[in-house]
Amino acid sequence: PEGLVGNLTYQSISSTAINVSWVPPSHPNGLVFYYVSLNIQQTPRHGKPPLVTYDSSIYFDNLEKYTDYILEITPSTEKGFSDIYTAQLLIKTEEDVPETSPIINTFKNLSSTSVLLSWDPPVKPNGAIISYDLILQGPNENYFFITSDNYIILEELSPFTLYSFFAAARTVKGLGPPSILFFYTDES
C-alpha cells in the first residue's frame, strides 16, 4: 500500500482499556491488513510482537493505568509493506484511584504533646496525587485533615497516649487505600 492510515484516533474505555480506529490508506493496491503494536513509551523496543488485523479498529485492555504508550500501525498487503508508511499515535491511559497506600517514613516525637509524621507518595499512584486524607484517632477524639503536603505536625495531643494515624492518597478519581501507624506520645 502507498500512504499512511488516516484519521488515527483512540478512545478511552476505562483506565486500563482503549479502542483505536483508523481509515485505510488512500492507495491500498490490494487487500490491506495492518501490523499494530502498542508499547509503553519508556520501553518502546522491549514490547510485544505486533498484532495483525484486517479490521480498521482494535481494542486493547489490561493496560497500565495513567501510562504513556506509543501505538504503531503499518498497512500491508500480501506483496509486503514499507516502514515509511508506519504511523504513530501517542496514547495516555486514564487516571484511577491510587492502587497502593502512602509510605509513612518518619515518626518523631517533638514533645510529649506533639509529633511529626511524613510519608512518600504511593508506589502506584495511578494518577496525579491532589491531596492526602489523614485521620488521627485518639482515646477520646478523632481528627480529620486534608493536605497537599507530605508531612504534618500534630499538636495538643495527650502525653503517653496511644494514637492511630491513617494516611490515604487522592487523585481526581478518588481515594486510595490507607497506611496505618500506631504510636505513643512521650511521657510528660
CATH (domain of 32): 2.60.40.10
Do residue 78 and residue 141 come from a single domain? no
- Position 46 pLDDT exceeds 80: no
For the residues 110-138, what does the mean pLDDT come to?
A: 98
Domain hosting residue 167, numbered range: 103-184
Which of 58, 92, 126 marks a domain boundary?
92
Whole-number Å distance between alpha carbons of 36 and 26: 18
Cell matching residue 65: 493505568
Q: What is the pLDDT of residue 44?
A: 62
CB of 141 within 8 A of CB of 30? no
Please check whether residue 87 lies inside any domain of the structure: yes
Q: What is the pLDDT of residue 188?
A: 87
Burial of 102 (0-12, 13-18, 19+ CB in 10 A): buried
Do residue 112 and residue 150 come from a single domain? yes
Cell matching residue 40: 509503553
Which of 69, 92, 115 marks a domain boundary?
92
Tally the domains of the chain: 2
- Position 48 pLDDT exceeds 80: no
Q: What is the pLDDT of residue 42?
A: 85
Q: What is the pLDDT of residue 178?
A: 99
Do residue 108 and residue 78 come from a single domain? no
Please check whether residue 97 lies inside any domain of the structure: no
Q: How many CA atoms lie within 13 A of 84 on its CB side?
A: 3
Which of 92, 121, 143 marks a domain boundary?
92
Do residue 68 and residue 115 come from a single domain? no
